[in-house]
Each structure stands twice: as C-alpha cells, then as structure tokens.
Amino acid sequence: MVIDSFARWRITDPLLYRQTVRTESAAQARLDDLIYSDLLRELGKHDMEEIVSANREAIMISVARSANEKSLDYGIEILDVRIKRTDLPPENEEAIYQRMRSERQRIANLYRSEGEEQAQVIRSTADKEIKVIMADAYKTAKITRGKAEAQAIAIYAEAFNRDPDFYDFSRTLEMYRIALDENTTLVLPPNTELFKYLK
C-alpha cells in the first residue's frame, strides 16, 4: 500500500530540539521516519476496509500517540497525524482488482444459483398444484357427467314407462339421425324392424 500522510507538530523544548536535530529539515526527516514506521506498523494490524472507513480516526490517534512518545526525545510534540491518500502499488493493483472481480463474480453466481434453486422449487410446487387441480377437475367432471347420465337414464326410464311406443319411436329416430346421413346406402329387406316407422 502506498500512503501519503502528514503530521502537525510543535517544538516543546527548544534546547533539546537544538541539541538533537538542529534544523527544521533534520527534524522533518526524523519525524517522517518515526511517523511512517509507526503508521505502517499500525496499518498492518488492520485490513483495507478498516483503513478507509470511519475506524481510520482511531488508527490515526494511535499512530500519533506512539510517534509522540518517541518525538519527545527531540523536544517535539506531535499534535496530529493524518492520511492524505492511500493507493495500491501499481504492480499489486491489477491483481487486487482481479481478485475483487472474482469475488463479485462468485457472489453473483451464488445469487444466481440460489435464484435458480428457488425457481425450481416454485416450478415444482406449481406443477404439483396443477396436477392436483386437474385431478380434482377431472374427478368433478366425471361425477357431474355421471349424475347427468343418471338423470338422463331416469328421464328415459320415466318416458319409457309413460309411453313405451313413443319412447321406441324417439330412440329409432335418434338412431336414424346418427347412423344414416345423406351418403349412406343400405340394402335391407322391406319388412326389417329397422324401417317399421318408415312404412
């Protein structure tokens, strides 16, 4: 990880400062070394998500406190340490992005798989319900047809009992309608029972 940071500091003991570092550039160089090493050590304890999240504040306080303990030896107090920017090294960046893409793809595949599984459950439930509904409908149709046929038989029986000759005539006409159309040719003796009503 490439880190760009800065620190605010002040001289608390001018004599010690003059004896140990002498110039501002020398002080800046020593502080850079102190702060950067403490910063890397502290950041190494955390993952990338913590570094770029709200937890960054606690990390920076810890770095400032640790670096301040060492900077007091130079007559300097570190007031604050901040990260301006964090970047990935160019050589690692593509590998990390590829890993992120792979992870997202894995999650997407997992969601697709779960969705397909749920769709399969829904389809099988719907197919089962269709079979049950069709079986119920078939059963109801058979019962209704059976009742209708029973009622028709009862009506025919009642008609037969009331007037057997008319019933016989009616059934014969029905047979003519079903068996004989305009293209039917029958050759039968004239005294056949089939034509008794046509004489």
Per-residue pLDDT tens for 112-127? 999 999 999 999 999 9
Mean of the pLDDT values across residues 17-32?
Answer: 93
Range of the domain at 138: 94-162
Last residue of a domain, one of 67, 87, 107: 87
CA dihedral 88, 94, 95, 100 (to 10 degrees): 90
* pTM for this prediction: 0.45
* Shared-domain flag, residues 152 and 189: no
Q: CA 173, 178, 184, 185 torsion: positive or negative?
A: negative
Cα separation, 58 vs 50, whole angstroms: 10
* Shared-domain flag, residues 82 and 111: no
Cα separation, 63 vs 56, whole angstroms: 11
pLDDT band per the 50, 70, 90 thresholds, residue 19: very high
How does DSSP classify residue 180? -
Q: Which residue, chain included where needed, has tokens 């050759």? A: 187
pLDDT at 117: 95
Residues 121-146: tens digit of each pLDDT: 999 999 999 999 999 999 999 999 99
pLDDT band per the 50, 70, 90 thresholds, residue 149: very high
pLDDT at 102: 93
Cα separation, 36 vs 6, whole angstroms: 10
Phi (first) and psi of residue 45, to 5 degrees: -80, -10
* Shared-domain flag, residues 69 and 119: no
pLDDT at 155: 87
pLDDT band per the 50, 70, 90 thresholds, residue 196: confident
pLDDT at 164: 79
Given a contact cutoff of 8 angstroms between Cβ atoms, the answer to whether 63 and 35 are in contact is yes
pLDDT at 109: 95
Greatest CA separation found in the chain?
149
Q: Does 12 score more than 90 pLDDT?
A: yes
> How far is C-alpha 88 from the geometric centre of its chain's CA atoms?
32
* Shared-domain flag, residues 157 and 179: no
* Shared-domain flag, residues 123 and 183: no
* Shared-domain flag, residues 12 and 78: yes
* Shared-domain flag, residues 152 and 179: no
Mean of the pLDDT values across residues 37-50?
Answer: 85
* Shared-domain flag, residues 22 and 83: yes
* Shared-domain flag, residues 113 and 81: no
Cα separation, 130 vs 123, whole angstroms: 10
